[in-house]
């Protein structure tokens, strides 16, 4: 189990780093919103990985809250970012 | 046995997350990147939640995990839809890479009905 968790952690770290690169590079606000969505999901997977490894359930409410609220940011940004091409 | 399955699911979930990260960097357009946030990422998260469920045995915790997965499945498409809509309306969609654009046909039909 320990080996699996270390490998998974490394994969998640690489995934998060690639996502942060896209978050910085953009080029548009909506690209960054998508990258932030993926970053939130990677965070949830990471917290779940830790909970599965240590077999405790203290962090499960965090997963619940994040998965419920995580989309609000993207929706707000998407509403805000809409501009007509002719304006 | 259940530990073995949980480990395999965790591994697949992490690999799918990595796939999303790589694709986010490599894919050329906003809509193709949107696909990554909406599909491999959500499947990876659900597989991880199943793995956590296999490692615990309290019914309440499994309920919380099921709710987490449900919320993710419900809210993910909403966010993806809103971002796709915003991208289309802001003209951020690269039309040379689209094979078909049914929304444009529908919008043209609507405009035709309004003017007639």
Q: Which of A22, A28, A82 sits opposite B25 (nearest CB)?
A: A22
**Chain A residue with the nearest C-alpha to that of B21:** A15
Confidence tier at A87 by pLDDT (50, 70, 90): very low
φ/ψ region of B91 (left if φ > 0, alpha if ψ in -120 to 50, else beta) reads: left
User: What is the tens place of the pLDDT at every residue in A20-45?
Assistant: 998 898 788 888 888 888 888 899 88
Residues 6+ apart with CB under 8 A from B69: A67, B45, B46, B49
Tell me whether B41 touches chain A (CB under 8 Å): yes
The predicted structure's pLDDT at residue B73: 87
- Are B72 and B45 within 8 A, CB to CB? yes
As for how many domains chain B has, the answer is 1
For B48, the domain range is 2-115
Q: Is B109 exposed, middle or buried, given 0-12, 13-18 or 19+ CB atoms closer than 10 A?
A: exposed
């Amino acid at each position: 189990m320990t080996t699996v968790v270390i490998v998974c952690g490394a994969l998640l770290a690489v995934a998060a780093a690639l996502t942060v690169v896209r978050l910085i590079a953009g080029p548009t606000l909506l690209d960054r919103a998508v990258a932030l969505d993926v970053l939130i999901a990677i965070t949830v997977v990471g917290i779940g990985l830790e909970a599965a490894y240590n077999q405790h359930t203290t962090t499960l409410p965090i997963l619940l809250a994040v998965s419920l609220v995580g989309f609000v940011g993207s929706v707000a940004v998407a509403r805000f970012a809409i501009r007509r091409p002719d304006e | 046995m259940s530990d073995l399955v949980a480990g395999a699911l965790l591994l697949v979930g992490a690999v799918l997350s990595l796939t999303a990260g790589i694709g986010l960097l490599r894919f050329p357009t906003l809509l193709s990147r949107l696909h990554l946030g909406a599909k491999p990422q959500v499947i990876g998260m659900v597989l991880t939640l199943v793995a956590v469920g296999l490692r615990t045995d309290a019914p309440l915790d499994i309920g919380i995990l099921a709710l987490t997965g449900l919320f993710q499945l419900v809210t993910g498409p909403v966010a993806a839809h809103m971002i796709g809509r915003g991208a289309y309306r802001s003209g951020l969609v690269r039309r040379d890479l689209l094979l078909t654009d049914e929304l444009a046909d529908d919008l043209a039909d609507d405009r035709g009905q309004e003017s007639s």
